Amino acid sequence: MKRRAFIRRAGGGAVGAALLAGCTSGDGSTNGSDSNGSATGGAGREGNTTGNTTATVGSAKTGGTLTVATYASFTGEDTAGAWLKSAFEKRHSNATVEFQVPENGVNQFVQRAQQGAPIDADLYVGLNTSELVRVRRQLDSPLFRSSGTVDGTDAIKQTLDVDPRGRAIPYDTGYITLVYDGTKVDEPRSFDALTKPRYANELITENAQQSDPGRAFLLWTVLAKGEDGYLDYWRDLLDNGVRVLADWEPAYQAFTDGEAPMVVSYSTDQVYYHDSKAQLRRHQVGFLDGQGYANPEAMAAFADAENPDLAREFMSFVLTDRAQSEIAVRNVQFPAVKGVSPGREFEKYAKEPPNPVTMSYDDLAGSVGGWVEDWSRLVASS
Amino acid sequence: MARRAERLALPVGVVATFAILLVVFYYPVGSVLVAAVVRGGRLTLGPLADVLGDPFYTGMLAGTVRDPFGVPAGLGGWVRAGFPSVEFGLFGFTAWQAALSTVASVLVGLPGAYLLARYEFVGRRTLRSLTIVPFVLPSIMVAVGFLAMFGRNGLLNDLLSIVGLGPVGGVLFTLKAVVLAHAFYNAPLVTRLVTTAWESVDARRVESARSLGASRLRAFRDVVLPELVPAVLTAALLTFVFTFLSFPIVLALGGLQLATVEVWLYARVQDLALGEAATLGTIETVLSLSLTYLYLRYEARQVRSRGTTTLSRHRLSIGWRTLRDPVRVGLFAYGIVVVILFVGPLASMVVESLTGSGGLTTANYAFLARQQAATAVGTIRPLPAVRNSLLFGLGTLLLAVPMGVVVSVLAARGGRGSRIAETLMSAPLAVSGVVVGLGMLQTLVFGTTVAGHRLVASGPVAIVLAHAVAAYPFVSRNVTPALSGIDSRLLDSARSLGASRLRVLVDVELPLVAAAVLAGAAFAFAISIGEFDSTVLLSQGVNTYTMPVALERYIGNRSVGPSLGPATAMGTVLLLVTAASFLVIDRLGGRWQP
């Protein structure tokens, strides 16, 4: 990190470019099999960003350090991040992947941009759609660069298109659903059922202000009940004793401790709970109205990434079948790429909703802030 | 030469304390709060008026902000309507729960102080040391413990059903749970501050009152009580301010339905609505700083005597007669409450760390061992976390105790305006943690450009400085009342014999207030061990994670599924390490006492 800051200070683009070119020239011919296209594809756009890394055009493989900012549970022992790092470094013998885990996620970089502080990272892994909307709303100049040609993007499931401007590329997705204890309640099959006395005081959800599943559930109710009807629906839910807890961990803990037999969670939860029939019955997945809300996770390269070519190669590596199934298993989320099979156990216990729904970037732009604000005021005053 | 250095020592200490405060506290916090009163480069009261005039925030008071002249008519309407219940909005609710929490904390804490100060029993000193442990526990752990203790399937209900008392439900996710959890954190604070004060009551004054014919009750009321009141009020004020600014406990045990201003502020920061967040932060700060100021003025008027003879303690157990003594029976009942409220959640957490879906298991500790042995990047290992926590704690201790003493000297001997100076120097207690964290992020972590160079402060030194700033007000809150109680003639005679100000402080004053300094030191250490927010912000990209940070990271670890098991195992480690540390601090401190 220090070195990067020094290079930037010491003389801007020219010195940095020379240093980077020096780093990468030695390995130009090691391997040219799979990323030629992406390297040249990216080169065309370099001019309008920093204009200092085009030295790698034509070389088959880029090297150097790729700094990946992500969330905590993506790195460390047995995680998707740790696997990706070693597998990618094995392929690119002169590349090093470094992880950064900012406590406040992508906000860190928005604030850095607002304060004129250096970004110090090449790639962000772990963006969702409403975060992209927030980034756009906060900043005048783009935080992320358009990804350009990244191998493997054509195979991404169409429903997961998170970014009309093609900067963020989805790499996995979860489906938000209800998880219920089958020994205590019957499956609530619809949104309307949840407001019935039969399910009074039996549902726990999460705070949509800052929890991913909580926000997904709120957006799902907006889809189901409409922009004009969702607040009335929530009024009914609140009257029926729904609890809105801070985040997924306390909510799920309260569910497993028997505080309530239903919780808003992920449709992959049974992957953890199939050791016995009794466990399975206590962690049933319920799709309301046959739906589940898709919450894709995406990655994007920063506009002033020092190593955009390497970032692109990393992204296309993430989209390979092998990486996709490893990520799915280790992150317990569904692959973003069509036709990937993450293994029998995963496929047996991770449930996909019959009708996945989600809100696109355009659905959310300009609206999501107001929906969440109105909703949270309603809940907090109840 | 040496005398010169001695003369300069205190002024240098004052300047250094101010300088640290300026860099680690005032500059960062200022950088955030400015956003509340500046829009587009111009000063404005608009944002403040917007918040204060919004019924969501201030309930019916909003009308008085928007239309001050309509107040009489509004009041009239309210009277005519038969005094219907009145809404005070988010601020009103926050103050209400803080008041309830303060009352609960004082009620639970006072008998503890009475017990520890006035009775002798096996394990008293150990118990006294351990009263500080709840203070360092991360809220997520306390929430887990509360769930396991007071939940529908919790330990309490299991025990009650054995006795045939039937389950009690519906405590969690209500105001009751929040108030209980606040008492869990703050009652030990009350106990500690009041015990320290009680133990320094001059026994000779009580004896002379008694010998002049005062009854025990009368002697207590006239001699002991006046010396306890400032400590009780300090504790109550701190509790009120802390619970007014409460955030993680409310989120974890109350949920959004019981949101406080601080919860809302945090959400605004998450949504990057920093202007609105700054406005809320400013209002909070003004409210809690005014309270602090009023309190300090009151405290300054209190006179406390101090002697070297302390009250003797009664034996707690007096054989079979114990059962006939109403006071001792009452203390026994209090013991049961303490076990349920304090031991229960902690024991439940330990039990949780030893159980899995299939009964007893050591899997969670095996997880910790695996993390320790892991080679993958980004792995948070338990032992470095323990080491870092202890090192930062020690560093904080070394820095916060001198800082706190310096402020106390200023406060105890200060003249005109010293209350304002003291308030400003106590401000770290009264400013929202979210605002401090945000400020640190924007200034220290992101760095500031000075003369073309980007200065970035992070890593161990920055963390210790931040911890010291958060901790030293506790040192001064313990030491100031004790210091101002020292007979000034003692100091004057020492000075007239030629001792420098520093000599008097070190040789005369500090030995007299050793108990208070020690109590403050324990707080400083505790705050450093338990601190999470600024640690995690300032430790970016460096191997400087602490036990609470490790614990939080294990919560999100997916390799063991949606389970708090590994985190509770780390929480148990944290519990053991801190309990051991406090026993050591108190034992070493005991030796240091005159």
Q: b/e map of B139-167 (b: 16 or more CB within 10 Å)?
A: bbbbbbbbbbbbbbebbbbeeeeeeeeee
Q: Which of B393, B139, B334, B132 is nearest to B243 (CA)?
A: B139
Could you read off the pLDDT of A47-95 as tens digits, one per residue? 333 333 333 333 446 789 999 999 988 988 889 999 999 999 999 999 9
Average pLDDT over all residues of chain A: 84
Nearest by CB: A257 against B153, B252, B379: B153
Tens digit of pLDDT at every position of chain B (594 positions): 567 777 788 889 889 999 999 999 999 999 999 989 888 888 998 889 989 989 999 887 877 777 777 777 777 877 777 777 677 899 999 999 999 999 999 999 999 999 999 999 998 988 988 998 898 888 878 888 888 888 888 888 888 888 877 777 667 888 999 999 999 999 999 999 999 889 888 888 888 898 999 888 899 998 899 889 988 998 999 999 999 998 888 887 888 999 999 999 999 999 999 999 999 999 999 999 999 888 888 877 766 555 567 788 888 888 888 888 899 999 999 999 999 999 999 998 898 899 877 788 898 999 999 999 988 877 889 999 999 999 999 999 999 999 999 999 888 876 667 788 888 888 998 899 999 999 999 999 999 888 888 888 888 999 999 999 999 999 998 888 888 878 778 888 888 888 888 888 888 888 888 888 988 999 899 999 999 888 988 886 667 899 999 988 888 777 767 778 888 999 999 999 999 998 888 777 765 554
Tokens describing residue A250: 């306390």
Rounded to whole angstroms, how far apart are CA atoms B535 and B464? 9
Could you read off the pLDDT of A310-345 as tens digits, one per residue? 999 999 999 999 999 999 999 999 999 999 999 999
- CB-CB under 8 Å, A369 with B564: no
Q: Quick check: B257 contacting A, CB < 8 Å?
A: yes
B24 φ/ψ sector (left φ>0, alpha ψ -120 to 50, else beta): alpha
**H/E segment holding residue A65:** strand A64-69
What pLDDT score was predicted for residue A107? 95
Rounded to whole angstroms, how far apart are CA atoms B531 and B546? 9
**H/E segment holding residue B425:** helix B418-430
Residue A149: pLDDT above 80? yes
Q: b/e map of B97-126 (b: 16 or more CB within 10 Å)?
A: bbbbbbebbbebbbbbbbbbbbbeeeeeee
Q: CA-nearest residue of chain A to B561?
A: A272
What pLDDT score was predicted for residue B499? 85
Tokens 């005109």: give the residue.
B416
Strand partners, A296: A173
Tokens 């009942």: give the residue.
B333
The vertex-A348 CA angle with A346 and A351, nearest 5°, equals 85
Q: Quick check: B543 contacting A, CB < 8 Å?
A: no
- CB-CB under 8 Å, B267 with A253: no
Are B462 and B489 spatial neighbours (Cβ–Cβ below 8 Å)?
A: no
Q: Per-residue confidence at A26, pLDDT binned at 50, 70, 90?
A: very low
Residue A379 distance to chain B (closest CA, Å): 6
Q: At what angle do helices B418-430 and B382-413 cross, to 10 degrees?
A: 160
From chain A, pick out residues whose CB is under 8 angstroms from the CB of B433. Answer: none
Q: Quick check: B151 contacting A, CB < 8 Å?
A: yes
Rounded to whole angstroms, how far apart are CA atoms A317 and B146? 45
- CB-CB under 8 Å, A279 with B378: no
- CB-CB under 8 Å, B255 with A243: yes
Rounded to whole angstroms, how far apart are CA atoms B527 and B167? 36
Are A159 and A336 spatial neighbours (Cβ–Cβ below 8 Å)?
A: no
Could you read off the pLDDT of A210-222 as tens digits, one per residue? 899 999 999 999 9
Tokens describing residue A39: 């390297």
- CB-CB under 8 Å, B172 with A259: yes
Could you read off the pLDDT of B392-413 as tens digits, one per residue? 999 999 999 999 999 998 888 7
Domain residue ranges of chain B, discontinuous segments joined by +:
1-32+365-594, 40-72, 108-353
- CB-CB under 8 Å, A101 with B378: yes
Average pLDDT over all residues of chain B: 87
Q: CA-nearest residue of chain A to B261?
A: A380
For domain B1-32+365-594, give its CATH number from 3.90.1150.10, 3.10.28.10, 3.40.50.2300, 1.10.3720.10.
1.10.3720.10
Q: Quick check: B451 contacting A, CB < 8 Å?
A: no
Rounded to whole angstroms, how far apart are CA atoms B563 and B565? 5
Q: At what angle do helices B326-338 and B89-118 cross, to 10 degrees?
A: 130
Give all strands (DSSP E) within B10-132, no chain letters. Answer: 38-39, 42-43, 119-120
* Whole-structure pTM value: 0.87
Are A59 and A26 spatial neighbours (Cβ–Cβ below 8 Å)?
A: no
What pLDDT score was predicted for residue A4? 28
Residue B341 CA: distances (Å) to CA of A69, A115, A295, B182, B188? 41, 46, 40, 11, 11
Q: Quick check: B56 contacting A, CB < 8 Å?
A: yes
- CB-CB under 8 Å, A269 with B378: no
Nearest by CB: B257 against A210, A372, A380: A380
Residue A311 CA: distances (Å) to CA of A150, B142, B206, B324? 10, 41, 76, 78
Tokens describing residue B89: 């909005």
Homologous superfamily of domain range B108-353: MetI-like (1.10.3720.10)
The domains spanning B1-32+365-594 and B108-353 adopt the same CATH topology: yes
Helix-strand-coil percent breakdown of chain B, rounded to 5?
Answer: 75, 5, 20
What pLDDT score was predicted for residue B158? 82
Compute the residue count for chain A.
382
Residue A364: pLDDT above 70? yes
Strand partners, A293: A176, A357
What pLDDT score was predicted for residue B240? 96
Rounded to whole angstroms, how far apart are CA atoms A200 and B466? 46
Residue B148 distance to chain A (closest CA, Å): 7
Q: Quick check: A72 contacting B, CB < 8 Å?
A: yes
Substitution target from B172, B256, B546, B558 for chain A, most A beta carbons within 10 A: B256
Substitution target from B57, B272, B434 for chain A, most A beta carbons within 10 A: B272
From chain A, pick out residues whose CB is under 8 angstroms from the CB of B172. Answer: 254, 259
Tokens 């004054």: give the residue.
B205
Nearest by CB: A376 against B267, B452, B540: B267
What pLDDT score was predicted for residue B591? 59
Q: Any idea what DSSP says for residue A156?
A: B
Are B372 and B381 spatial neighbours (Cβ–Cβ below 8 Å)?
A: yes
Are B352 and B572 spatial neighbours (Cβ–Cβ below 8 Å)?
A: no
- CB-CB under 8 Å, A107 with B151: no
Tokens describing residue A130: 């409403």
Q: CA-nearest residue of chain B to A139?
A: B272
Rounded to whole angstroms, how far apart are CA atoms A142 and A124? 14
Tokens describing residue A157: 């499931």
Nearest by CB: A244 against B255, B552, B555: B255
From chain A, pick out residues whose CB is under 8 angstroms from the CB of B564. Answer: 249, 253
Tokens 């003639």: give the residue.
B489
What are the structural domains of chain A?
A: 3-174+294-349 (3.40.190.10), 175-293+355-372 (3.40.190.10)
Q: Which of B141, B250, B272 is nearest to A209 (CA)?
A: B272
What pLDDT score was predicted for residue B542? 64
* A95-99, A181-185, A221-225, B86-90: the lowest-pLDDT one: B86-90
**Residues of chain A numbered 142-201 and touching chain B (CB < 8 Å):** none
**Residues of chain A numbered 24-53 and touching chain B (CB < 8 Å):** none
Calculate mean pLDDT across residues A257-278.
90
What pLDDT score was predicted for residue B321? 84
Write the DSSP assignment of B184-245 as a string of letters: HHHHHHHHHHHHHHHHTS-HHHHHHHHHTT--HHHHIIIIIHHHHHHHHHHHHHHHHHHHHT
Give all strands (DSSP E) within B269-317, no chain letters. Answer: 314-315
Q: Which of B395, B435, B389, B448 is nearest to B533 (CA)?
A: B435
**Residues of chain B numbered 336-365 and touching chain A (CB < 8 Å):** 357-358
Strands A291-301 and A284-286: unpaired
Comparison of pLDDT for A199 and A166, the residue scoring more = A199
Q: Quick check: B441 contacting A, CB < 8 Å?
A: yes
Are B400 and B519 spatial neighbours (Cβ–Cβ below 8 Å)?
A: no
